Amino acid sequence: MLTYELAMRVHGDVVQLAVGPRGLRFEVTAVFHPEGVQHVLTAGEDRYSKQTRSYRALAEEIGLGLLTSEGELWRVQRRLIQPLFTPRQVASYASIMAEETAALLDRWPSRGVVDAHGEMIHLTLRVVGGAIFGDDLDEAERVLRWAFPVVTVQTQRRAVTPLPLPRSWPTPANREGERARRAVFGVVDELISRRGRAGGDGDDLLSRLLRARDADTDEPMSARQVRDEALIFLLAGHETTAALLTFALHLLGHHPEEQELIHAEADAVLNGGAPTAERVAALARTEMVLKETARLYPPAYGIPRRARIEDEISGYRIPAGRIVVVCQWATHRNPRLWPNPDVFDPQRFTPDREAARHRYAYFPFGRGPRACIGSHFAMLEAAIALAMIVQRYELRAEQKSLELNTSAVTLRPQRGVPIVVTTRV
């Protein structure tokens, strides 16, 4: 991650990197300029596919869901799942998001220290349980808190190791990874079974997946497809949003002036009432804070693709078969695109400044046809939670800076993030 940023600052918009130890090295081309990023993410799978180490490793761990599939399978999945993520459907989950946030805050002290990351993981798992599975994850939370990090670290390790050992070899890492994978699958299978026994006629996403029919063939999803999609939504639906909220709380804990601005906004817009999707749409400053947080700490910090055919980007030849990476972390910190890029400045996301910027200078959830389908869900949840937190508490960060963990698929803090919370009077 930092290597990509350094490469961009020293060498420019397109950089060829050698990855791995001597004798096992392979070449990667990193693309940082927005026009190059747009080209890679919109050229289509006939030019840039997901046939990379990273996606293969992820598919081995959690299956061929919408995130990891491509080709005709992806197109069928997209047709089935897209109606579940329309703005109207996502808005229907606002009440769950608000209720779970209120329950979380009810157990916070009037003054004391909370671990922001642990608390946000708990919150987002509760929201995912209600919105996706129509069930609570209280019994499963302990398993998921242990198992998901093991699975994602195992995925990343296999993606970057030049010669990964076969998963069947009984090494300590493989044994732990298999235990974690079985634990996650067991949780999801039980939730699906429970939903099926209940009739699958609820408003949660899992019930909708069970009822979904392909518009062209009228075929439902297979049991394997349902599980694979549920796994993706469970993983992405809590880890990325939890990290986004954690980083936002940390940043606000160092910027009391921004806290006061979004506190005043929440008071004016919500007026003590529950956040609805319509009210959240009026929380402009809160949205700017979240966007700036995602610029500095993008939940997914790099996107790999494989060039199917020879190509050219910004005058540089890309040979067929080359792994090409677009890196949110680096592009979001390019000083030519973002003055004082390391400074937290939500004003970067005023409507005028957004309109003046290249659309692909900012892509925390990806862009193009393969952009994250759940990004609106994540941003709605984050805005509701953040507005409710700052309306009720003042925040002060205990740590000056955060040590980041890049050993997994998504960006997260290395350890707990202590925040001093004090009830507003």
Model confidence band, residue 53 (pLDDT cutoffs 50, 70, 90): confident
Whether pLDDT at 138 is above 70: yes
Whether pLDDT at 200 is above 70: no
Whether pLDDT at 340 is above 90: yes
* CA distances (Å), origin 415, targets 90, 98, 171, 295: 31, 27, 26, 21
Q: Residue 237 has what pLDDT?
A: 80
As a whole number, the mean pLDDT across the chain is 90
Identify which has the larger pLDDT, 174 or 163. Answer: 174
- pTM for this prediction: 0.93
Q: What is the average pLDDT across 100-109?
A: 96
Question: What's the CATH class of domain 2-423?
Answer: mainly alpha
**Is the CB of residue 171 less than 8 Å from the CB of residue 165?**
yes
Lowest-confidence region among 80-94, 203-217, 287-301, 388-402 = 203-217
Model confidence band, residue 81 (pLDDT cutoffs 50, 70, 90): confident
Q: How far is the first Cα of the chain from the last one, in angstroms, to the nearest whole number?
A: 42
Q: What is the average pLDDT across 217-222?
A: 80
Q: Which of 273, 274, 249 is nearest to 262 (CA)?
A: 249
Task: Enumerate long-range contacts of 331-339, CB under 8 Å, 24 or more apart.
Answer: 331/8, 331/32, 331/33, 331/34, 331/37, 331/360, 331/361, 331/362, 331/363, 332/295, 332/296, 332/298, 332/361, 332/362, 332/364, 333/5, 333/296, 334/8, 334/32, 334/361, 335/9, 337/34, 337/361, 338/295
Q: What percent of the chain has pLDDT over 90?
A: 56
Q: What is the dihedral of CA 22, 23, 27, 28, to 10 degrees?
A: -60
Q: What is the average pLDDT across 365-390?
A: 94
**pLDDT (tens digit per residue) in 380-415:** 999 999 999 999 999 999 898 899 988 777 899 999
Of all residues in the chain, what percent are helix, strand and coil, respectively (each to 5)? 55, 10, 30
**pLDDT (tens digit per residue) in 270-303:** 988 889 999 999 999 999 999 999 999 998 889 9
**Is the CB of residue 78 less than 8 Å from the CB of residue 212?**
no
